Every structure is written in C-alpha cells, then in structure tokens.
Amino acid sequence: MRLSRFFLPTLKENPSEAQIVSHRLMLRAGMVRQHTAGIYNWLPLGTRVLQNIANIVRDEQNCAGAQEIIMPTIQSGELWKESGRYDDYGPEMLRIKDRHDRDMLYGPTHEEVVTDIFRYNVKSYRELPKNLYQIHWKFRDEVRPRFGVMRGREFLMKDAYSFDIDYERSKHAYNQMFVAYLRTFARMGLKAIPMKADSGPIGGDLSHEFIVLAETGESAVFCHKTLLEKPVPENVNYEGDLQPIVDDWTSYYAATEEKHDPVAAAQIGGELVSARGIEVGHIFHFGKKYSDPMKANVIGPDGNQTAVFMGSYGIGVSRLVGAIIEANHDDAGIIWPASVAPFHVGIINLKTGDTACDDACAKLHKAIKLNGLDVLCDDRDERAGVKFADMDLIGLPWQVIVGPKGVAKGVVELKNRRTGAREELSMDAVITKLTVAA
C-alpha cells in the first residue's frame, strides 16, 4: 500500500477530548474518529488492527472447539421478557420500538438469543457439547463512556456460549475457554492474568476476569510474581483434561483492587506485586440460569428432559486495541506487536521523486509483499522529519529507510520500532531479514 493513496489522517497535536494515551494515539494515528459519545468510526488503519485482533481471537476459539455464528444486533424484547432480564437490565439496554410498536432492543449481550437458537435445534444430549460464538457489535448505553474505545457504548465483542449436559462437562467447556484465553492474549503480546471475579448480573458460580497488565491501566491489581512470567500452554489438547492447567494458573494469588484481600494473599503466600490492569475478558459458568426459564432442554441418557448447563465467555475486541496500545507505546507513538500490526513493514522514501530512491522503494515493496508481509510505503512528497514522525506514530514493527546517500552505496537502513536499533543492509539482506523475523 502506498501511503499517498492510503486514508491516514494523522494529527500532530493531541485532540483536547482525549485524555488517556491509547485514545490520544488512536486519534493521532488516524485509527478512529469519534462519532458521538462512546461511538466511533474506524478508519482504515484502525480497521486493520481490529480485524487482526479478531482473527487471532477467532483462530483460538476455533482451536478450542467453538463454532462461529452471527446473531442479530437488533433483538426482540420478547426473549428478554422470557428470561426475566427485560425489566432487570435497566437503562443500559437501548430499547427501540419498531413500526408495529413491538419492543425491540440493540443487544447488549446474547444469552437469550443463543439459548433460543439452541432450544429449537438441539434435542438430545448426544448432540452435546456445543460452543457457539460470534464476533459482533454490542451496544450498552453506559452512563459515562470514556477512554476512547476502551469504554465505548458500541463495542466489538467476542461472545461464546457453551452448552453441556452436566456440571462436570460444563466445567470442561469453561476450562477450554480459560486456556484459549491465555493463549489468545499471549498471541497479541499481552500479559493477561486470570483473576477470580464476581459473576455479576449475568449470574453463576464460577467466573474469572482476564486482566491485561499495562502501566496506564485503569485499575490496580495485585498478583503473585510468578504469574507475570508464566508461559502460556503450548500444543494444547482441548479434548484432554485441562483442569491441571487451570488449577496451576489459579493456585497463585491474583485480585483486582476492589477484591484485594491482604489476609487471603498472605495465606496463599509468595511474592506479591502490585500492577495496573485492564479487563479484556470475562468468563462465566452459570448453569441453568437461562436454560431453565427459557426451557432449553435436551433428552438425557435416562430419557428425561433436562435443562442444559451453560457458560458465556466474552472478549472485548475493540477494547483490546486500546489495551494493546496502553501496553505498547513510547513518547513517539504506538509500538505494535507484530501479530496485530496494521502493516508489518513501513518503507520511508526520504526523497520521493528521486529515481534511484523511487526504484529502490518499488523493488523493496514488491519483494517484501511477495514474501507475504503487508507493507506501507511512505511515498508522499513530505520532508523526512514528517515521515519519520508519522511512521513512529503509527508504530509499524519495522521501518526501512531509503535515502539517496544509502542507495548510492547500495544500502538501506532497517529500524526496529521497539528497540530503536538501526542497521545498514543491502536490499536483499533487508528482504531476507524481514522474512525471517516474520
């Protein structure tokens, strides 16, 4: 992609409405623009990151045995009356009347809809287990949206729902998501710590929040030092027993500030560290809370109808964009982990219009792209300083700096955005090195 054709409205100054660093950088880097309080337009750069994150989430959900579906954003109020939540949910739920004066709503979550799908289409325990998920837009009419996409009213969420015949198997579904979450966040370069959580209004008796650690995170957390460096499980057999992995991770103390209990922490022992964090995922087991009132029954092995055991599992996909920036930035801008970067490589043509530079950039662009990497080439007729600043701001992991002096010597400069390390290399060496690094 040539930057001269890419829609990338960067800002030199901080927009006054943005206070936290991720919000400022997302606006400055041309990723998003606010539409109204808590509702955002996603511009091309932001959309690319959002989709990269969604794809990692999707991949790990699929590996863990969940299946993707798409449910409506606009739901019928009838289902919510059936589950009893139509009155309980409160003004956070955006209620709408259609032209026939029927009660509709913009879905804040999808337990009712997915339970409805399930009950009409699954009749026997032999069809279990099932885990259905979607990556879709939700709307919660927050009293006070803030922090850019970190707490918007409209947000992209992965929500999965598991259905099992009994508690033990439902717990296995819960564990599958638990492990999948560890892997998902690690793939984005994040340290995410599972912490015991209240199950809140969704209900249930087993629940964990996944908190991403970032110095600028909104809430303080306390956790055992070991959790910070603990490697996530590899080559997971999701059909096998996952309980040892979950037990291992939950054996260390970890709590958010509100739930911090120094006495309990002391009992569990170990070196406690305090950090700051952002909640990016939340998993619940809630048994028959919805399957009972909504009659989501299957015939069990004993021939009797029984309500299924359910769990729900959320990841804030759009929030993750902000969380990743909170955890990966410096004074100059964003520093994307390679797995979610909008482009892998940025080429800076220091002298657009100079035939040697233009040719070198074109050759690099083509070769790097052929090796499967996304490239953004800054071919704008701008001064070098502007290009350096913008490239640092948008945070692509690698920069290839092409200038007339280097090209005359047959070299270009390769800069690592995170470390700042630079080296002069031949064009072939750059292409090889980038391909290996990716």
Residues that bind RNA (CB under 7 A): 10-17, 19-20, 23, 28, 34, 36-38, 140, 142-147, 149-153, 155, 157, 200-202, 209, 218-219, 279-282, 314-316, 318-319, 332, 350-351, 383-386, 388-390, 392-393, 401, 403-406, 413, 415, 422
CB of 298 vs RNA, minimal distance in Å: 28
Q: Of the candidates 41, 17, 1, 235, which has an alpha carbon nearest to the alpha carbon of residue 147? A: 17
Q: Which is nearer to RNA, 307 or 321 (CB)?
A: 321
Q: Which is nearer to RNA, 34 or 291 (CB)?
A: 34
Residue 94, classed as helix, strand or coil, is strand
Q: Which is nearer to RNA, 77 or 152 (CB)?
A: 152
Q: Which is nearer to RNA, 48 or 417 (CB)?
A: 417
CB of 110 vs RNA, minimal distance in Å: 12
Q: Which is nearer to RNA, 64 or 391 (CB)?
A: 391
CB of 197 vs RNA, minimal distance in Å: 8
CB of 168 vs RNA, minimal distance in Å: 25
Q: Which is nearer to RNA, 128 or 347 (CB)?
A: 347
Q: How many CB atoms are closer than 10 A to CB 426?
A: 12
H-helix or E-strand spanning residue 400: strand 398-402
CB of 234 vs RNA, minimal distance in Å: 25
Q: Which is nearer to RNA, 179 or 401 (CB)?
A: 401
Backbone angles phi, psi at 159, to 5 degrees: -125, 125
CB of 270 vs RNA, minimal distance in Å: 26
- CA angle 210–213–214, rounded 5-degree value: 140
Q: Which is nearer to RNA, 12 or 99 (CB)?
A: 12
The rounded distance, in Å, linking the Cα atoms of 103 and 121 is 25
Q: Which sign does the torsion angle of CA 310, 223, 180, 235 carry?
A: negative
CB of 386 vs RNA, minimal distance in Å: 4
Residue type, 404: P
For 180-216, b where at least 16 C-beta lie within 10 A, e where not — what string? bbbbbbbbbebbbbbbebebeebebebbbbbbbbbee
Task: List beta partners, residue 376.
Answer: 346
Q: Are 274 and 213 in contact (CB under 8 A)?
A: no
Residue type, 134: Q
Max Cα–Cα distance, the chain, nearest Å: 81
Q: Of the candidates 194, 169, 170, 167, which has an alpha carbon nearest to the alpha carbon of residue 315? A: 194
Q: What letter does residue 4 receive in the DSSP assignment?
A: T
CB of 336 vs RNA, minimal distance in Å: 16
Q: Of the candidates 120, 122, 191, 135, which has an alpha carbon nearest to the alpha carbon of residue 316? A: 135
CB of 133 vs RNA, minimal distance in Å: 14
The rounded distance, in Å, linking the Cα atoms of 56 and 47 is 14
CB of 116 vs RNA, minimal distance in Å: 21
Q: Which is nearer to RNA, 38 or 77 (CB)?
A: 38
Residue 128, classed as helix, strand or coil, is coil
User: How far, CA to CA in Å, does 245 sit from each of 250, 272, 311?
Assistant: 9, 21, 19
Q: Which is nearer to RNA, 39 or 69 (CB)?
A: 39
